[in-house]
């Protein structure tokens, strides 16, 4: 049968499974989409099911469209009546068909995230709720998190006055949505689940219709999605679940990797097929991924392999600073490009968005075109633009654009009418908005006056401060840090704001003989924020977080910033399954590479405006030594590492060596201790027999050790 041609034995077994629920453990690059679509086509072609009897669930509209296109290419059928789509798309379809039973108007509207936040703010205002105590974004998160757990307002946890107030707001929000005939994204699934739970006739109808339910990326389902799938599964229905527990990296979105084990148990799954043959990567890359992920205890287990040969070893680069790392990466990309590899076939991955700033700076300086995939370049990010607007106002009170951007951010109760009155006053007086504020009276004049007074105070306090200190001071006093600290998902934005302090410190360091004031830094930021990102279709280097890279592949991949506390991220220590999810994230990063993989880290990195001395990521130790080639010797800190730099365009190249201790050790040096293992010297004090060093031993923590008794050796 041509439909089954060119399938490997495991793929063929999965496609032609008998009518029983099955779990397909599909490793990275193992052809899962092909298996899923061929399974649907085979079921239809063999008469096991009609096109209308198939329900196929994906996680993106793009994946759903690709699935329908492939099915159409395999079979001469119309796919129009097939239920293939995302959870939200299919729930929308169900609710449109049964809107009366669901208690919705026929033409109900769907709120996107911004519209939902706007409605939350209106509800808070109507309830006279203090937004400082109950930030709208926190309320939005509370509502969505409860809905994704399948909980209505009356079921939300309410164990004190504060949480009870959140539940009351949730209830009022739901009532307002019902009055306006609107639903948010989380409501689509919850309302659909409620409809099927309560309406037995409807539930039995769809259970009888959908004899075959197929689910892609099953490891990314949350609890409510899994319960929804179980509701749709009747006595004669079977579920064909395709996923990879080793690539479950979205716990922060509610994904529950435990659904895969629950599925095996709940559906008494007899058929677990492992798709382990990889069609993407060379053998050394897969062996590294297998070795790394084997350290996770909570996994169903599989081992990727390829018939393409071992390929090249993984390359590891250890830099003295993040600036060296960025400079080396830029030069290596240029070398790969000269050797004939297109820049679009090279991916640069990092754990945190804030890491892109130093990389972008090096690429910009080297004239290398790049694109930030799935996100904004550093100086385009909302929180960074807000911070720059404050700095622009400190530099010049005539900047109306900066004034309008931050006059009510964070929220200060300055509304549109107040700003209209201010703009009219400024126009009448032929002056800036800032200077027109004294002309306004009443509440508007008071609120705007307080804002202007804050800017004036910031300007005065900036006198005599170094540039990085000005930025730090502004972030604290403007309320930006406090605002994003109060947001549930504000960690990335806080890291970007702190990285702006590093950008200011780097600017001072690089411009030692030039103007280093605030105005010069703002001009520099504007230039780097200009149109330097490559246009669509251009041959450009691809920059992205590891989360954004899932589903993509590149001929060559750089994974940067492999340091304890960065990757794995320090937050993983405080979360259940946190370290295992970080390891799965590293597994995803490794398996993006086809032929060449670079792993890099820095001995010290600028964080929060200060130099942090780092221990190499444990993930590097979990890769067998026989698979890697070190591009630099393991650094002892005794000499300046890396290649001789051809020019001064490197980002953050240090101007001098770390200070030495009295006994020959250096801050920044890698050392080994018999009890605590490998560490990095981060501080030193005292002389002679009183000399001691502070060492960061990573998982063992920070230790002060007397040098006379420490018995240290160079790493």
- Phi/psi class of residue 696: alpha, beta or left (left: φ > 0; alpha: ψ in -120 to 50)? beta
Cα–Cα distance list, 87 to 36, 59, 187, 548 (Å): 17, 7, 12, 20
Query: Known catalytic residue: 46?
Result: no
Catalytic residue among 351, 405, 592, 594: 592
Closest-CA residue to 693 (of 711, 715, 611, 604):
711
Cα separation, 503 vs 129, in Å, equals: 38
CB 641 within 8 A of CB 324: yes
What pairs with residue 681 in β-bridges?
695
Closest-CA residue to 418 (of 396, 450, 388, 389):
450
Catalytic residue among 148, 216, 220, 399: 216
Query: Phi then psi for 139, rounded to 5 degrees?
Result: -65, -45
What pairs with residue 245 in β-bridges?
none
Closest-CA residue to 177 (of 104, 226, 235):
104
Cα separation, 426 vs 448, in Å, equals: 13
Query: Known catalytic residue: 511?
Result: no
Catalytic residue among 32, 343, 381, 583: 32
- Phi/psi class of residue 576: alpha, beta or left (left: φ > 0; alpha: ψ in -120 to 50)? beta
Query: Known catalytic residue: 32?
Result: yes
Q: Cβ–Cβ contacts within 10 Å for residue 103, how many?
A: 12
Closest-CA residue to 241 (of 553, 23, 413, 517):
23
Catalytic residue among 37, 221, 247, 669: 247
Cα separation, 554 vs 48, in Å, equals: 39
Pairing between strand 238-243 and 541-545? unpaired
Query: Known catalytic residue: 217?
Result: yes
Catalytic residue among 217, 276, 399, 495: 217
Cα separation, 681 vs 388, in Å, equals: 35
Three-state DSSP string of 397-419:
CCCHHHHHHHCCCCCCCCCHHHH
Catalytic residue among 16, 33, 45, 509: 33
Query: Known catalytic residue: 216?
Result: yes
The two structure tokens encoding residue 263? 């599925």
Closest-CA residue to 568 (of 253, 292, 298, 328):
292
- Determine the straight-line distance between the first and last CA of the chain, rounded to whole angstroms: 60
Query: Known catalytic residue: 38?
Result: no
Cα separation, 290 vs 590, in Å, equals: 10
Helix/strand/coil percentages in the chain, nearest 5: 50, 15, 35
* Residues acting as catalytic residues: 32-33, 216-217, 247, 592
């Amino acid at each position: 049968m041509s439909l089954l041609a060119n399938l490997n034995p495991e793929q063929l077994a999965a496609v032609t499974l008998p009518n029983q629920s099955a779990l397909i453990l599909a490793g990275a690059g193992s052809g899962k989409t092909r298996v899923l679509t061929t399974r649907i086509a085979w079921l239809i072609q063999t008469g096991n099911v009609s096109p209308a009897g198939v329900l196929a669930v994906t996680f993106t509209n793009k994946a759903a469209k690709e699935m329908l296109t492939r099915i159409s290419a395999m079979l001469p059928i119309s796919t129009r009546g097939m239920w293939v789509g995302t959870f939200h798309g299919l729930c929308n379809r169900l609710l449109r068909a049964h809107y009366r039973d669901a208690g919705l108007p026929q033409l109900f509207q769907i709120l996107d995230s911004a519209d939902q936040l706007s409605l939350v703010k209106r509800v808070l205002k109507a309830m006279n709720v203090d937004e400082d105590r109950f930030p709208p974004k926190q309320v939005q998160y509370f509502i969505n998190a409860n809905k994704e757990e399948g909980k209505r307002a009356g079921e939300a946890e309410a164990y004190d006055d504060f949480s009870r107030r959140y539940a009351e707001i949730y209830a009022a929000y739901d009532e307002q949505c019902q009055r306006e005939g609107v639903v948010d994204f989380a409501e689509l699934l919850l309302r659909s689940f409620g409809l099927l739970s309560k309406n037995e006739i409807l539930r039995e109808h769809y259970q009888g219709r959908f004899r075959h339910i197929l689910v892609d990326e099953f490891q990314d389902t949350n609890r409510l999605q899994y319960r929804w799938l179980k509701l749709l599964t009747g006595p004669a229905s079977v579920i064909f679940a395709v996923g990879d527990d080793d690539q479950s990296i979205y716990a922060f979105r509610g994904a529950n990797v435990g659904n895969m084990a629950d599925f095996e148990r709940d559906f008494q799954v007899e058929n677990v097929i492992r798709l382990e043959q990889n069609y993407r990567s060379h053998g050394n890359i897969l062996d590294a991924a297998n070795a790394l992920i084997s350290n996770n205890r909570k996994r169903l287990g599989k081992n990727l392999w390829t018939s393409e040969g071992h390929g090249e070893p993984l390359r590891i680069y250890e830099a003295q600073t993040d600036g060296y790392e960025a400079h080396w990466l830029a030069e290596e990309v240029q070398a790969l490009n000269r050797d004939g590899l297109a820049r679009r076939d090279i991916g640069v991955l990092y754990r945190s968005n804030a890491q892109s700033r130093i990389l972008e700076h090096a690429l910009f300086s080297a004239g290398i075109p790049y694109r930030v995939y799935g996100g904004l370049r550093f100086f385009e990010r909302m929180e960074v633009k807000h911070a720059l607007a404050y700095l622009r106002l400190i530099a010049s009170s005539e900047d109306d654009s900066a004034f309008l951007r931050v006059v009510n951010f964070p929220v200060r109760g300055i509304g549109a009418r107040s700003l209209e009155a201010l703009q009219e006053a400024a126009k009448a007086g032929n002056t800036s908005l800032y200077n027109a504020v004294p002309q306004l009276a009443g509440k508007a004049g008071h609120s705007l006056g307080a804002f202007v007074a804050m800017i004036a105070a910031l300007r005065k306090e900036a006198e005599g401060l170094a540039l990085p200190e000005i930025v730090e001071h502004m972030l604290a006093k403007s309320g930006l840090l406090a605002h994003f600290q109060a947001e549930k998902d504000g960690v990335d934005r806080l890291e970007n704001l702190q990285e702006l302090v590093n950008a200011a410190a780097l600017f001072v360091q690089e411009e030692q003989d030039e103007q280093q004031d605030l105005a010069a830094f703002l001009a520099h930021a504007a230039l780097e924020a200009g149109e330097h990102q490559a246009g669509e279709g251009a041959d450009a280097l691809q920059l992205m977080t590891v989360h954004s890279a899932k589903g993509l592949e590149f001929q060559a991949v750089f994974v940067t910033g492999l340091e304890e506390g960065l990757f794995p991220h320090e937050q993983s220590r405080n979360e259940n399954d946190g370290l295992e999810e970080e390891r799965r994230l590293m597994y995803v990063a490794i398996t993006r590479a086809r032929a060449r993989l670079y792993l890099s880290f820095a001995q010290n990195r600028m964080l929060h405006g200060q130099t942090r001395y780092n221990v190499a990521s444990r993930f590097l130790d979990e890769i067998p030594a026989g698979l890697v080639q070190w591009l630099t010797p393991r650094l002892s800190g005794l000499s300046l590492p890396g290649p001789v730099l051809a020019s001064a365009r490197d980002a953050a190249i240090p101007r001098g060596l770390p200070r030495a201790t009295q006994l020959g050790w250096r801050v920044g040096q890698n050392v080994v201790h018999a009890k605590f293992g490998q560490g990095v010297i981060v501080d030193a004090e005292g002389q002679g027999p009183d000399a001691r060093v502070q060492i960061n031993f990573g998982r063992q923590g920070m230790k002060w050790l007397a040098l006379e008794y420490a018995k240290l050796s160079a790493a």
